[in-house]
A and B are shown apart, each in its own frame.
Chain A
């Protein structure tokens, strides 16, 4: 079945350093929709980024990601971490393109230190 893998459970960084959170996926669909959701403490998940176009960079709120179908990857990056970026980040795959259920990775907790 479809699956999403996030290899890091916890990433701790100093403010100002670059961020990279890894995400790889497996799916039978040739046109997958990939997402990054962010969940701050005591809040519900909200959409940060989405993509369904191969090799096209998508950006939002200083974060960016590029869907690479050749490597089944959708890594999240930011050039300079801020304290407010501390949160739980989930990579997710939609199982029916643009309208299916979301299949989430295990999540990566990002902790930014001053």
Chain B
């Protein structure tokens, strides 16, 4: 079990450029979550999918952030026209689905992508 895989581990963009972050959840996990971590704000929820369907995107900045999960093996977080305030570590987590003998689905975090916007 390789755990949650995130690529790239580090990304540097210029202000106004686009950044795409990739996440491969643990095989068999049906839920994928995106969080953002900064020193000032701590860990903030962005969005999540269950069985590839978007469930809650209440944490996403509406204008420039978007997320997709085109298949069960990967999800992407895209940031258009990046700004310096987007600099953060973006963490992806995955979990099993509850039910079928599972009464709580622990979220397992990937190593994160450190995004730096110059």
Contacts and interface: CB of A to CB of B under 8 A. Distances in A.
A complexed with B: yes
Interface of A: 33, 43-47, 50, 52, 90, 92, 98-107
B48 A101 contact: yes
Identify whether the interface residues of A are mostly helix, strand, loop, or mixed. Answer: loop
Given A33-B104, A44-B110, A90-B43, 7 more contacts: A44-B109, A44-B111, A45-B43, A46-B108, A46-B109, A102-B33, A107-B43
20 contacts: A33-B104, A44-B91, A44-B109, A44-B110, A45-B109, A46-B109, A52-B104, A90-B42, A98-B103, A98-B104, A99-B98, A99-B104, A99-B105, A100-B56, A102-B35, A102-B43, A102-B45, A104-B43, A106-B42, A107-B43
Nearest to B102: A98
Interface of B: 31, 33, 35, 42-45, 48, 50, 56, 59, 91, 95, 97-98, 103-112
B43 A50 contact: no
Nearest to A45: B109
A47 B104 contact: no
A44 B89 CA distance: 10
Contact of B31 (A92, A99, A105): A99
Contacts of A47: 106-107
B42 A105 contact: yes
Identify whether the interface residues of B are mostly helix, strand, loop, or mixed. Answer: strand
Nearest to B30: A99
A92 B103 CA distance: 18
A106 B35 CA distance: 14
Given A99-B31, A104-B42, A106-B42, A44 B112 contact: yes
Contacts of B33: 101-102
A98 B107 contact: no
A99 B109 CA distance: 15
B44 A102 contact: no
A56 B109 CA distance: 27
Contacts of A52: 104
Contacts of A43: 111
B91 A101 contact: no
B23 to A, nearest CB: 12
Nearest to B6: A44
